[in-house]
């Protein structure tokens, strides 16, 4: 099981299938491969990691594409090859919630520095094994109810 966290502001787009990809930096753990189940969630933040009232599992879906990506000042490398098609870079940036590829570059430069190495993961929402309902209902912790003395 590989879990990927998205911003809470993107939860609706994931549930309704308008967001079906995520860019994640390389870290300690291996990224999912095509065919592996992805658990897409929001609110999966330290120190609770899945136990907080803000955590929601949005979707469980098979990964349809797992591709290494390197974003530099000059453009993008996909799977080790230079991507020279500007419209594909723009579409990827828009799928990630940015107005343009340049805006994505600025964001990654501020957060991590360029060149940025990571993974592009995509899924097909209609293949989801589980999909959360909208609106997400805030979880109430036990003992937070009224009538306690």
DSSP 13-54: HHHHTS--EEEEE--SSPPP-TTSEEEEEE---TTTSS-STT
State which H helix or E strand residue 101 sits in: helix 101-111
In the chain, where are the structural domains located? 2-131
What average pLDDT does range 75-98 have in this prediction? 85
pLDDT recorded at residue 48: 74
Give the domain 2-131 fold.
Sulfate adenylyltransferase (3.10.400)
Each residue's pLDDT tens digit, 34-64? 999 999 999 877 777 777 777 889 999 999 9
Q: How confident is the model at residue 149 (pLDDT cuts 50, 70, 90)?
A: very low
pTM over 0.85: no
Q: Look at residues 36, 39, 121, 109 and name the one whose alpha carbon lies nearest to residue 78.
A: 121
Share of the chain above pLDDT 70, in %: 90
Q: How confident is the model at residue 67 (pLDDT cuts 50, 70, 90)?
A: very high
């Amino acid at each position: 099981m590989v879990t990927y966290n998205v911003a809470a502001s993107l939860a609706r787009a994931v549930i309704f299938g308008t967001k079906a990809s995520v860019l994640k930096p390389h870290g300690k753990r291996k990224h999912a491969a095509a065919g592996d189940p992805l658990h897409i969630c929001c609110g999966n933040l330290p120190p609770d990691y899945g136990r907080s009232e803000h955590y929601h599992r949005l979707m469980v879906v098979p990964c349809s594409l797992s591709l290494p990506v390197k974003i530099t000042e000059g453009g993008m490398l996909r799977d080790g090859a230079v991507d020279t098609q500007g419209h594909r870079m723009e579409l990827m940036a828009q799928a990630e919630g940015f107005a343009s590829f340049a805006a994505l570059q600025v964001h990654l430069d501020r957060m991590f520095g360029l060149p940025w190495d990571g993974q592009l993961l995509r899924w097909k929402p209609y293949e989801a094994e589980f999909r959360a309902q909208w609106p997400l209902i805030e979880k109430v912790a036990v003992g937070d109810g009224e009538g306690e003395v």
